[in-house]
Structure formats: C-alpha cells, structure tokens
C-alpha cells in the first residue's frame, strides 16, 4: 500500500521537549506528500498550583498560573504546526487541559486517529519517574498504533 491515503490523520502530542520535536520530525517524514493532516496537541497540565510557583512567578492566584500554562501549551502547539506547515504539510494546533496521557488518548479516540506519534520522554520530570511516563500510558491504553520516538 502506498503512503498516500494510509494515514488520514496523525496525532502528535508536543510539549516543547527535544523528543517531542523528534516526533514532529517523524510525522513530517511519514506524511511527506501523502496528504495526511497532522494534529499537534499540547496539554496544559491540570494540577494543583504549588505555593512556590505563586512566589516564583509573582502571581497571586492559581488561575493566573493555569492561564499561563495554557498560553505556553498553545505556543508550543502553534510553533510545531508552523514547522510542518512550512514544509507543506497540513497541520493544526490544539490545546487540552488535564492529565496529559488521558487527554492524548481521548483526543486520539475522538479523531479516530490511525496513528499517534509521541516522544518517549517529555518535560514532566520527577513525577514521570514516580507515576509512569505519559508515552507508556498512551501505548497501553490508546486504541490505535503508537509510534514512540526516542
């Protein structure tokens, strides 16, 4: 089967990390001129705001920090979409708020995406070591194939 028409939609979660950039690069290579649409999804992590974050940012409310997280996620998704669009690939940026693995899995289901391309390690740090990686959860619970990029 030729590449054209094999994937209509590819979901690529992005978080600004080096491995998520490699996932974007892999999507570019895979889609080429095949006509697939690439959805770049960035998730603003919905977790409690720590007092140290309030002090470090100078914000007085957790809503401001949540808004800032959402704006950062939007910027990451927009930049990744521009990278693909500049290469002539149809790309759309999206932002979700919540648990990254859950948001990715749900969006893949909503899109009926035939493929998710995800970086193996993102920017979640120590929490990831304790609770399991986002990519690991997506591999185990997504209803479609998942390509994990190192």
> Which residue has tokens 């809503």?
63
Beta bridge partners of 146: 116
For position 31, what pLDDT does the model report? 87
To the nearest whole number, what is the mean pLDDT of the chain?
Answer: 84
For position 53, what pLDDT does the model report? 54
| pLDDT, average across residues 111-127 | 78
76 pLDDT band (50/70/90 cuts)? Answer: very high
pLDDT tens-digit map of 1-49: 344 456 789 999 999 999 999 999 999 998 875 678 999 999 998 766 5
How many residues does this entry show for the chain?
A: 150
Neighbouring CB atoms inside 10 A of 117's CB total 25
Helix (H, G, I), strand (E, B) or coil at 77: helix
Tell me the torsion sign for CA atoms 129, 98, 42, 74: negative
The model's pTM is 0.84
Give dist(CA 105, CA 34) in Å, integer. Answer: 24
What domains does the chain contain, in order, with CATH numbers?
A: 9-149 (3.40.50.620)
């Amino acid at each position: 089967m030729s590449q054209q028409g094999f994937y209509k939609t590819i979901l690529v979660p992005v978080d600004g990390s080096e491995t998520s950039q490699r996932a974007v690069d892999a999507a570019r290579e895979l889609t080429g001129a095949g006509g697939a649409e690439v959805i770049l999804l960035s998730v603003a992590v919905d977790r409690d705001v720590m007092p140290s974050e309030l002090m470090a940012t100078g914000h007085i409310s957790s809503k401001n920090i949540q808004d800032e997280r959402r704006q950062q996620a939007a910027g990451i998704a927009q930049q990744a979409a521009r990278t693909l669009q500049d290469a002539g690939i149809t790309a759309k940026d999206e932002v979700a708020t919540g648990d990254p693995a859950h948001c990715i899995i749900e969006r893949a289901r909503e899109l009926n995406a035939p493929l998710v391309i995800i970086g193996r390690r993102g920017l979640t740090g120590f929490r990831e070591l304790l609770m399991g990686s986002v990519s690991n959860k997506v591999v185990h619970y997504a209803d479609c194939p998942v390509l994990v990029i190192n």
